[in-house]
Amino acid sequence: MRPPSSILPLGHYDTIYALSTAPGRAAIAIIRISGAGWWDIYQALCPNRPPPTPRKATLRDLLDPSDTNNILDSALVFHFPAPKTVTGEDILELHIHGGHATVKAVLAAIGQCRSKHTIRYADAGEFTRRAFQNDRLDLGQVEALGDALSAETEQQRRAAMRGNSGKLGRIYEEWRQLLLAARGELEALIDFSEDQHFDESPAELVRNVTSQIGPILEAIRRHQKGSRYGELLKRGIRISLLGPPNAGKSSLLNIIVDREASIVSEEAGTTRDIVEVSVDIGGYLCVFADTAGLRSSSSIGGVEQEGIRRAKAKAKDSDLVIVLASVEPSDSSNSSIYQLASGHSGLSTFCDLESLKIAAEAEQAIVVVNKCDSTRDLGTQLEYTKTKIDNLLPGRSPAVVSISCRDAEQSGGLDPGNIGALLDILQTTFGIMTNVGDDLDLLGVSERQSQLLSTCTECFERFKDEALQGEECDIVVAAEHLRAAAACLARITGRGEAGDVEEVLGIVFEKFCVGK
């Protein structure tokens, strides 16, 4: 029988197959086969049966090619004819029962099929690589797919899907075409200026091109902002918990992650190193760094001092700083401790100045006042605390929330220890930190793409510098800057004259699993 699809595959690639669902026991497993060899595989497994109707589920017994009395499984099979498929090639999907032995037997049978096409097990990401090679996806979409596959939180998933539409790739391609056209005009000047009459003088032309790239430059800035926010969602929001020893940093972290993630001890200065814990708060991936308690005292040892140094460095590097203040009796041994407000029965609100200094410089900061136990009446004291913090961090007015780790650990109630309020404030803050405006697609710009956009703007700047020379402007040099800018855009999508596509593909496909 002739294969039902008369359309030849686009490239001359091996036929690849793989288990595309997770290995292990499951109700159903899907084996995907991509390439011209699909027909030989189908015939070997379903001898003398008519081809499946394209894109329709067809029930077939799969037989062992070396012993046709041995029915391997009763499966649903699908044929997706090239080129309108996910890889651009013919695809055969076998939806089989998920038992280990069934999957193993069917994979072994496919491996034994005879064909003039080489049939082999796929490498990691190879189906997606085919999609790229056959122009079904651009590099940005491949990256987004990788992100979608590794998304663990709702916001990671949303950011990944934003890069998936191909819209960004189309925009970059449009810009690239514009630049190439402008470069073409400049080069026409260079090549023919002696024997042809041009409406525009070279200086005028360069000026026109400069005004054409103005809006692109603006758009690039928006894309870079989107990328920063998208990365916050994808790689997680890095949060540092700062405060004096025993303020309750580790307890709070443990309550938040709801597991024993870092050492909790009554002894001051036990969290010497930085413990990083990832947690999903309202769909946002948060990476908490539980740092050594900050205190400046000559009596502390070298190891602890190193811990403090690292804590400060980490805090500078984080996206959000949570300063932990607490309500307790005064600790005279700690010179950097600061009394924010004094209250009843010898209790005051304390914070340390080092933490506040770091918060003053942080991208975002929140102050959490711990040890506000239900037994304490702290209303006015907390009001004073808020006012004091606003005075100490002018223009920042960070959210101040009171909690009690002790209540959270010990008692029931609706929201013991007010932790729910803290989590609400965190979520609101994350929303503000990642608010990219109406054009949500900008969240799909990856870090790699953003770096290329930076290089692209550098080329623009060089072009503009050259253009500013007016009559002295060197057209050859100016055209070269435009070519370099266009090449950056080509490397984003992996199309056009993108030189190092293989290298980029290597990086992008590292994330992929076999079967994808």
Ligand X SMILES: Nc1nc2c(c(=O)[nH]1)N(C=O)[C@@H](CNc1ccc(C(=O)N[C@@H](CCC(=O)O)C(=O)O)cc1)CN2
Q: How many CB atoms lie within 10 A of CB 158?
A: 18
Centroid of chain to Cα 25: 30
How many alpha carbons lie under 13 Å from residue 95 in its C-beta half-sphere? Answer: 10
β 91-97/275-281 pair status: unpaired
Q: How far is the CB of 55 from ligand X (least distance, A)?
A: 7
Q: How far is the CB of 65 from ligand X (least distance, A)?
A: 24
CA atoms of 361 and 393, how far apart (whole Å)? 9
Q: How far is the CB of 58 from ligand X (least distance, A)?
A: 14
Return the number of the residue (33 or 320) whose C-beta is nearest ligand X.
33
Q: How far is the CB of 128 from ligand X (least distance, A)?
A: 8
How many alpha carbons lie under 13 Å from residue 179 in its C-beta half-sphere? Answer: 30
Return the number of the residue (30 or 485) whose C-beta is nearest ligand X.
30
Return the number of the residue (21 or 240) whose C-beta is nearest ligand X.
21
CA atoms of 34 and 41, how far apart (whole Å)? 11
Output the residue with the shortest Cβ distance to ligand X: 84
For residues 76 and 58, is the Cβ–Cβ distance under 8 A? yes
CA atoms of 480 and 122, how far apart (whole Å)? 41
Return the number of the residue (106 or 255) whose C-beta is nearest ligand X.
106
Amino acid 480 reads E
∠ Cα 68 72 78 (to 5°): 105
Q: How far is the CB of 91 from ligand X (least distance, A)?
A: 7
Return the number of the residue (82 or 479) whose C-beta is nearest ligand X.
82
CA atoms of 114 and 144, how far apart (whole Å)? 36
Return the number of the residue (78 or 430) whose C-beta is nearest ligand X.
78
Return the number of the residue (86 or 188) whose C-beta is nearest ligand X.
86
| Cross-strand pairs, 120 | 16
Q: How far is the CB of 131 from ligand X (least distance, A)?
A: 8
CA atoms of 110 and 462, how far apart (whole Å)? 56
- DSSP conformational letter for 343: -
Positions that interact with ligand X (CB under 6 A)? 30, 80, 84-86, 93
Q: How far is the CB of 34 from ligand X (least distance, A)?
A: 9
For residues 252 and 241, is the Cβ–Cβ distance under 8 A? yes
Q: How far is the CB of 509 from ligand X (least distance, A)?
A: 15
CA atoms of 171 and 229, how far apart (whole Å)? 19
Return the number of the residue (149 or 274) whose C-beta is nearest ligand X.
149
